[in-house]
Amino acid sequence: MKIIVASYPKTGTKSLNIALSELGYKVYDFVEHFWYHGKYWKRILTTGGSTEDFKKMYEDVDVVMDAPAFRFWEEIHWAFPDAKIILMLRDEDEWYKSTCVQINQIANNTIYKLMLTFSPNGHRYFRHYNRIVPFSFGNEMKFFPWIQITTNELILKQKYRQHNAYVLEHAPADKFLLYDINQGWDPLCTFLGKQIPDKPFPHKNVGGEVVNDWMKEHPVVVRMKREMWVSIGLLLALGSFTCFKMFRSQRWGGLVSFFQSLRY
């Protein structure tokens, strides 16, 4: 473990993810936490965990960011005391509005909701989400009548303020960078001891489009979407076969009744 991004999502984390990947780091973001360590996180958030758990989870990973890792930045740092810590801040009201935009993107994405309903791994992802997000943000996703997301502005902003204040107070100064992605490559590469790439700094998830990007590009989410279409196809085939059998049964029953009436 080399870098712990202690920032809340919607502060530039997806752009930072691309930037750190460009610099050669192996990054674990929200989906990777679910896919590779979902069982660990389930136990940590229900019965607790230890420094050894984090060592096992992230010994071969360079960077962790997003939920739930950012809320456990300090515990992960205890496991990897040489890791550097990055915090990005954003105006509280702007951050909340941007978070709500992304939540609405998720809530109004029919394919995404179908994926969480009909993909086996998608439904497992939904259960993971429902453990992680209330703890990290104070909002929740309800499955019935169909996937709905609720937010609490007061709690969300309070968690945001408290988390950022704690990081600023407790992060070791010699391993800490307070960063803004609008600063570009220079302060980031200086902090990490990396050469500045000969390309523009990336900008990702503008307008909360990360879910659409995931469904097009992320191999785990693409797999879940594929599972969804297979499940829907099987359900339609089963439904069609059942209707056909019922029709044939009713039709045969009608013919039997007809010939029986002729006998009498």
In this prediction, residue 242 carries a pLDDT of: 74
Are 142 and 136 a contacting pair, CB within 8 Å? no
DSSP calls for 20-41: HHHTT--EE-HHHHHHHHHHHH
198 three-class SS: coil
Can you read off the two tokens belonging to residue 23?
Answer: 């610099």
Return phi, psi of residue 230, to 5°.
Answer: -65, -45
In this prediction, residue 141 carries a pLDDT of: 63
Task: Taking each helix axis as running N to C, give the angle between helix 185-192 and helix 13-22, from 0 to 180 degrees, rounded to the nearest 10.
Answer: 60
Give pTM, 2 decimals. Answer: 0.84
Number of residues that this document lists for the chain: 264
Q: Which 8-state DSSP code applies to residue 175? A: G
In this prediction, residue 251 carries a pLDDT of: 56
Q: How many Å apart are CA 4 and CA 245, to the nearest integer?
A: 58
Return phi, psi of residue 176, to 5°.
Answer: -120, 140
Nearest of 203, 206, 204, 173 to residue 191 by alpha carbon: 173
In this prediction, residue 36 carries a pLDDT of: 95
Q: How many Å apart are CA 173 and CA 176, to the nearest integer?
A: 5
In this prediction, residue 253 carries a pLDDT of: 57
What is the C-alpha R_g of the chain?
Answer: 24
Beta bridge partners of 85: 4, 176
State which amino acid sits at residue 160. Y
Q: How many Å apart are CA 52 and CA 102, to the nearest integer?
A: 34
Number of H helices, E strands in the chain: 11, 7
In this prediction, residue 144 carries a pLDDT of: 52
Can you read off the two tokens belonging to residue 93?
Answer: 């009201």
Residue with token string 């829907």: 232
Beta bridge partners of 176: 85
In this prediction, residue 83 carries a pLDDT of: 98
Q: How many Å apart are CA 21 and CA 120, to the nearest integer?
A: 29
Q: What is the pLDDT along the chain (264 residues), one digit of tens a residue?
A: 999 999 999 999 999 999 999 999 999 999 999 999 999 999 999 999 999 999 999 999 999 999 999 999 999 999 999 999 999 999 999 999 998 888 888 778 888 888 888 999 988 988 898 888 888 887 666 655 556 677 788 889 999 999 999 999 999 999 999 999 999 999 999 999 999 999 999 987 565 577 777 778 888 888 988 999 998 898 888 877 777 676 666 655 554 565 556 555
Q: Which domains does the chain have, with CATH numbers?
A: 3-231 (3.40.50.300)
